[in-house]
Amino acid sequence: MIWLQAGSCGGCTMSALEVGTRGLVADFAASGIDLLFHPSLSLASGAEVVALFDSVAAGDTPLDILCVEGSILAGPNGSGRFNRFAGTDKPVMTLVRDLASVAGVTVGIGSCAAFGGIPAAAPDPTEARGLAFDGSRRGGALGLDYRSRRGLPVVNVAGCAPHPGWVVETLTALAAGLLNAEDLDGFGRPRFFADHLAHHGCSRNEFYEFKASAERSSDRGCMMEHLGCKATQAVGDCNQRRWNGSGSCTDGGSTCIACTAPGFEAMAGFQTTAKLAGIPVGLPVDMPKAWFVALAALSKSATPKRVRDNSRADRIVVPPGRPQGGR
């Protein structure tokens, strides 16, 4: 496996390094993955690395998995020369295309590699794009028809940064031959995490059910109505498997910004909810708008005082009541 960094902040690597108790490199070894190169983890540099890439591109050294972290910077004017591989005059875009053409499978690590991500936000002078998508449009740096040597499209482990478990489990499954085209959603994201919503398992779900909403970032209530939380629309099992075993965005008081979605960097209202006639524009993906409005009104009318009071505080101010005579 080769891991490249293109237009990247390095955050996806930082996230992946936090996986489990034994660490990323040990997990790779346990899965039979031979890491040929990683810019942060490998000792090799300079001419040694260039020679390795030339050997892989020529077919002399087999490449089963190519991981790309970061956006492909195609500027200026499609030349890719804004981002050249250190020690060479070759654009990273060209290097990625050369290696992807011989790779058993190509994996986009993070939403930048998947869709363009943060570097693609306006005004985007670098012409940033993902490997297989330019925002939500198919194509990207590798083109519409790209398939790896194993016949797979680009596998996109989206997220900014992606959960470390998503990275390791995807690569482990690929190494074992257990991840196929039918296991990916329409954006190439593995369905083992993409078939869930970030809302599932959120510790604020009692407040969501009663539409008891937070009004400040320190409040414990549901952040969808006023503070811009997109967890009911965002792909990911983030709240079912906590980050590093203990936390998530919404647990920490931050709204979900739908970072696994194409174009999330251009979405309005990371901390405020866009509304039309007082109704949030972004509503749960699996519920008709009319149903949601009706159920929200009913839920609010039935909200227990305990839930309402707790939703507007930074701690539990009214504990759950106990039945009289109960143990």
Q: Do 186 and 206 reside in the same domain of the chain?
A: no
Residue 41 to residue 51: CA distance in whole angstroms: 18
Residue type, 261: A
pLDDT for 58 equals 95
Residue 293 to residue 10: CA distance in whole angstroms: 42
pLDDT for 324 equals 44
Q: Do 15 and 56 reside in the same domain of the chain?
A: yes
Number of domains observed in the structure of the chain = 2
Residue 324 lies in a domain: no
Residue 243 banded pLDDT, cuts 50, 70, 90 = confident
**Burial class (CB within 10 angstroms; exposed 0-12, middle 13-18, buried 19+) of 308:** middle
| Last residue of one domain, picked from the residues 194, 229, 247 | 194
Mean pLDDT in residue range 199-208? 92
Q: Do 169 and 219 reside in the same domain of the chain?
A: no
Q: Do 170 and 236 reside in the same domain of the chain?
A: no
The domain in which residue 308 lies consists of 196-316
Mean pLDDT in residue range 200-207? 93
Residue 9 to residue 264: CA distance in whole angstroms: 17
Mean pLDDT in residue range 127-139? 97
DSSP characters over 4-68? EESB--SHHHHHHTT-TTT-HHHHHHHTT----B-TTT----THHHHHHHHHHHTTSS--SEEEE
Which domain CATH number covers 290? 4.10.480.10
pLDDT beyond 90 at 192: yes
Q: Do 49 and 31 reside in the same domain of the chain?
A: yes
Residue 165 to residue 19: CA distance in whole angstroms: 6
| Last residue of one domain, picked from the residues 194, 213, 239 | 194
* 213 and 223 Cβ atoms separated by less than 8 Å: yes
Q: Do 237 and 307 reside in the same domain of the chain?
A: yes
Q: Do 299 and 270 reside in the same domain of the chain?
A: yes
Residue 63 banded pLDDT, cuts 50, 70, 90 = very high
| Last residue of one domain, picked from the residues 194, 221, 241 | 194
Residue 321 lies in a domain: no
Q: Do 6 and 94 reside in the same domain of the chain?
A: yes
Residue 9 to residue 3: CA distance in whole angstroms: 14
DSSP bridge pairs for 107: 67, 155
